[in-house]
Chains A and B, each alone.
Chain A
Amino acid sequence: MRFLTRRFLFYLVAAFVAITLNFFIPRLMAGDPVQVMFAQFQGRLDSRAMESLKETFGFVQGPILEQYATYLGNLARGNLGLSISNYPTPVADLIFPSLLWTLRLIGVATITAFLIGIILGIYAAWRRGGGIDSFLLPITSIVGAFPFFWTAMFIVFIFGLQLKWFPTSHAWDIKLTPNPDWSNPEFVNSVLRHGLLPMLTIVFTSLGGWLLGMRNNMIGVLSQDYVTMAQAKGLSDRRVMFTYAARNAILPSLTAFSMSLGFVVGGALVVELVFAYPGMGYLLLKAVGGRDYPLMQAVFLLITIAVLIANFMADVLYVVLDPRAR
């Protein structure tokens, strides 16, 4: 328990540091939002508009410590502020829909890739030199080593454009219904069809990493005395494989998994770009491009908190799985 309390306090401090950096780092970038808004219009905006824009965005020009205090105060009240590039839309309104799509797509894909990768890794180590070990492992590793966007484009080209099995863009068919409507089975079907290709892309490309990591850990653990002992006692292969070996071998993979679960919130920029999927990665890219400080802060904050929470969960799991950590 002392371990967990200590970890919790550590994450609390880490969160505060992150919140602070989160405020200052975006402001170190050259260019302020008023200028960037000008750039967006590429000369179409009358120079007279500059004055009214400065008036509107006066708050980003005030003393930085004062802004910091306001930021902390708002944060404490759960107020993420108003977006600058889409002023005065609240940041939360912009983030929420994207966050849900990202959690559904990237979350499901990450968990799927992890589960499949771990199970295949266990079997690959158990039957070294078998089918999984000598074929699947090198193939998934090669796919994982390809540039991500290349794999994504390839999948779009084959399944979307050539075979036309699945749609290649958007999260649902806007001609079916312009607004999401989860009570409509056709809409749900459309979401599934639209999500499949991007999900497959993520699963294919990240599978190899989990597989290889798990296999290598597994091999180390399998040579331990207690595994030989368990086998000598006549326990079933299944029992030895999962309860004795995998339980120990999974610990390093679990840390990596918790990290990647945390980063799910940040979205997957390349997948979102290739499949025109309305996720967080693209939102963050636009926020950075538009010097939209409140939006950037909110997205970074979400990522930070998600990573910290995921790490804390991993710590808890460690305690459960590994008695030495208690």
Chain B
Amino acid sequence: MSKKLLLVCVLLALTVSFSVTMAQDAVPRGGTIVVSEGQQAAHPNNFNPYAPDPTRWTRGTMYESLTLFNPVEGGKPTHWLATGYEYSDDLMSLTYTLREGVKWSDGEDFNADDVVFTFNMLKEFPAMDRGAIWQYIDNVEKVDDYTVTVHLNQVYTLLHELIGNPDNLTIVPEHVWSSVEDPVTFTNPEPVATGMLTEVVAVNEQVLELCKNPNYWQMGTDGKPLPYIDCMRMPVYPGNDPANFAAANGELDYIGNFIPDIEATFVAADPEHHFYYFWPGGAVVQLYVNTTKAPFNDVAFRRALSMAIDYDSVANIGMYGYTTPANSTGLGPRNESWYNQAALDKAAEYGLSKYDAEAAKAALDAAGYVDADGDNWRDNPDGSPINFKVQVVNGWTDWVTSVQIMSQNFQDIGLNNTIDVLDFGVWFANLQNGSFDTSIGWSTAGNTPYDFYRAVLYSPLIGTDGLANGQLRGRWTSEEVDTLLESFVQTADEAEQRNISDQLQMIYVENVPAIPLFPGPTWYEYTTHRFVGWPTVEDYYVQGSPWCAACRPIVLTRIHPIEDMTGQ
């Protein structure tokens, strides 16, 4: 615990010294950044951060969270409305020290009452508790005006991450929200918030325009309040094509869209000013196999499938070369510091996650999957024919192409299979209730490996109704894994957590509950016609995607116009 506190102090000291030494540097200010992140229909006037899908940029940049966790730096905390947090020694309480001097955009002071009020509102209205944080919380106590203690009802040492996620919890002002009768259906048309962009200039069928908070608490390196920019503007483009056209035209500054053939369409339009970086930090996409059915219940068969897939073609053709093949542990680059080399070595020993059709055939032969009835397709060891389907969502062209490649790969090693293209609703229901053979699907990515393994392996996620929540689609479970996952969040000792993570990775490699394909690329493009300070490939200080609510506030602390645009 003291280690965490020490880290906080060091960071604080760094911040202070940084702002002292840099205080004199003038930074160009002003201007309006133009953003596009896939808004295709009218912007709703709905600045309630607890709405399922509120107006863009409501979370993080308008309503702020206590601590932000940077997905790029393995979840390193950036203290925001809180200056630090600490678990008690018995891990049954989590105490936040709040920042003093923060003002709401209407000029009132921010303090512990607002934080306690927000927590209790989520308790009273579970429909607003997106992160289900109250399943771990007993009560939230105001210690003094700038100290709040969260008392847990069970040990859960990742609670600070759940609380820090702006999609789960952002602080709302008690003096405004306490008079709201039903916060669930409140559209909050005149937002009062602590964030950088709080002034709503326009929210209509064509554009969202937000401008800076006159009372913002955070100072720039020039000693004046952030942000350096004045406003952000987000036009509506119905469909990808008009948005990509505007991007190539240099009309946009900050973009989070999928752009096909990006080098030729976007970069080539102006190589001096147009950049992108698709950090592969998204959730790993996997081929899920239904382990309750033969032949997928046989680990030898699953291993053979893992050898049969042409991962490079999937990444280069299916995913346009925007990502790279995944490794057998299921963890992506976001958890790179957690990789267990022993597990990776074990995977190499088995030949997993490496395209080798001959090895796959040999593995199938050895396990007894041979052609018994002479139809040129392999059969089960008991002689019954193998014929399975690979499910995919209709219209998700990258996934459909990937599945076509894999289906062909499986046919090449003698496995009779067909592709089943389904509407999203049907596809999703099939995965939940287990009526599928194999299917492509996403997983979960978090700052620690816990999020991935919990979502994919934790057996309590199969509800009493028999539906698999999370991504427990293959339904491969074990008591050992459940115990490991539970002990991961029972300890705050990172060495202990690493030990557990190592074991989980080894189990994943040994049992192949699903076949990892590629980590999801995160869409992010930017232009430097007017503004600079963006995350770049060399200095990727935070995930660039503007739709990432935990990331864009950090981007906004850095970007500024090339030349002063004040008053323009």
Q: Which residues of A contact B (CB under 8 A)?
A: 29-32, 35-40, 42-53, 55-57, 82-83, 85-90, 93-94, 97-98, 101, 169-172, 174, 178-180, 272-273, 276, 278, 282-283, 286, 291
Contact = CB atoms under 8 A, between A and B. Distances in A.
B129 A278 contact: no
B455 A55 contact: no
A276 B204 contact: no
A36 B204 CA distance: 24
B242 A169 contact: yes
B390 interface: no
24 contacts: A31-B425, A35-B425, A37-B52, A38-B428, A42-B442, A43-B282, A43-B283, A43-B444, A47-B455, A49-B132, A52-B128, A56-B184, A83-B44, A87-B46, A89-B44, A89-B45, A90-B187, A93-B45, A97-B204, A171-B205, A276-B237, A282-B41, A282-B238, A283-B41
Given A87-B53, A276-B238, A97 B42 contact: yes
B469 A179 contact: no
B126 A30 contact: no
B557 interface: no
A39 B242 contact: no
Contact of B238 (A37, A42, A273): A273
Given A39-B428, A278-B236, A283 B42 contact: yes
B52 A87 contact: yes
A45 B131 CA distance: 10
B44 A94 contact: yes
A48 B130 contact: yes
Nearest to B426: A30
A160 B269 CA distance: 19
B206 A88 contact: no
Interface string B39-61: 01110111010011100000000
B127 A37 contact: no
B185 A170 contact: no
A52 B132 contact: yes
A39 B396 CA distance: 11
A169 to B, nearest CB: 6
A131 B423 CA distance: 52
Given A50-B469, A169-B237, A278-B236, A32 B425 contact: yes
Given A46-B444, A178-B201, A276 B186 contact: no
A89 B52 CA distance: 11
B520 A43 contact: yes
A286 B236 CA distance: 13
B207 interface: yes
Nearest to A100: B205
Contacts of B469: 47, 50
Given A43-B282, A278-B205, A286 B40 contact: yes
Contacts of A169: 237, 242, 246
A12 B226 CA distance: 60
Contacts of A179: 201-202, 204
Contact of B46 (A39, A48, A86, A291): A86
Nearest to B126: A55
Given A35-B428, A36-B424, A273 B236 contact: no
B75 interface: no
B51 A51 contact: no
A39 B283 CA distance: 14
Contacts of B429: 30-31, 35
A51 B132 contact: yes
Interface string B231-273: 0010111110010001000000000000000000000000000
A82 B206 contact: no
Interface in B45-82: 45-46, 48, 51-53
Contacts of A98: 42, 205
Contacts of B425: 29-32, 35-36, 291
Interface residues of B, number: 58
B471 interface: yes
B470 interface: yes
Nearest to A175: B233
Contacts of A31: 423-426, 428-429
A152 to B, nearest CB: 13
A140 to B, nearest CB: 28
Contact of B424 (A35, A49, A55, A276): A35
Interface string B267-286: 00000000000000011000
A86 B239 CA distance: 18
Counting chain B CB atoms within 10 Å of each CB, the highest count among A37, A89, A90, A179 belongs to: A89
Shortest 10 CB-CB distances between A and B: which pairs?
A: A31-B425, A43-B442, A178-B202, A278-B205, A86-B44, A30-B425, A55-B127, A88-B185, A47-B470, A48-B132
A170 B131 contact: no
Contacts of A52: 126-130, 132
Given A48-B132, A273-B238, A37 B443 contact: no
A46 B53 contact: no
Interface string B125-150: 01111111000000000000000000
Given A88-B184, A93-B44, A273 B53 contact: no
B461 interface: yes
Nearest to B132: A48
Contact of A94 (B42, B168, B428, B455): B42
B209 interface: yes
Contacts of A37: 52-53
A61 to B, nearest CB: 13
B461 to A, nearest CB: 7
A172 B444 contact: no
Interface string B309-353: 000000000000000000000000000000000000000000000
Contacts of B168: 46
Given A45-B167, A178-B209, 13 more contacts: A30-B423, A31-B423, A31-B429, A39-B424, A42-B442, A43-B283, A48-B131, A50-B469, A56-B52, A83-B44, A169-B246, A174-B207, A276-B239
Contacts of A171: 205-206
A173 B174 CA distance: 39
B131 A174 contact: no
A278 B547 CA distance: 22
A43 B185 contact: no
Given A43-B444, A52-B132, A93-B45, A88 B423 contact: no
Contacts of A82: 185
A281 to B, nearest CB: 9
Nearest to B46: A89
A79 B255 CA distance: 38
Contacts of B52: 37, 53, 56-57, 87
Interface string B197-211: 000011011110100
Contacts of B165: 46
Contacts of B442: 42-43
Nearest to A291: B425
Interface string B535-552: 000000000000100000
A235 B282 CA distance: 80
Contact of B127 (A56, A172, A282): A56
Given A31-B425, A35-B424, A276-B238, A85 B207 contact: no
Nearest to A95: B42
Given A43-B443, A47-B461, A48-B130, A174 B233 contact: yes
Counting chain A CB atoms within 10 Å of each CB, the highest count among B44, B52, B233 belongs to: B52
Interface string B166-195: 011000000000000000111100000000
Contact of A97 (B48, B205, B423): B205
A142 B187 CA distance: 49
Nearest to A90: B187
Interface in B415-448: 423-426, 428-429, 442-444
Interface in B87-116: none
Nearest to A98: B205
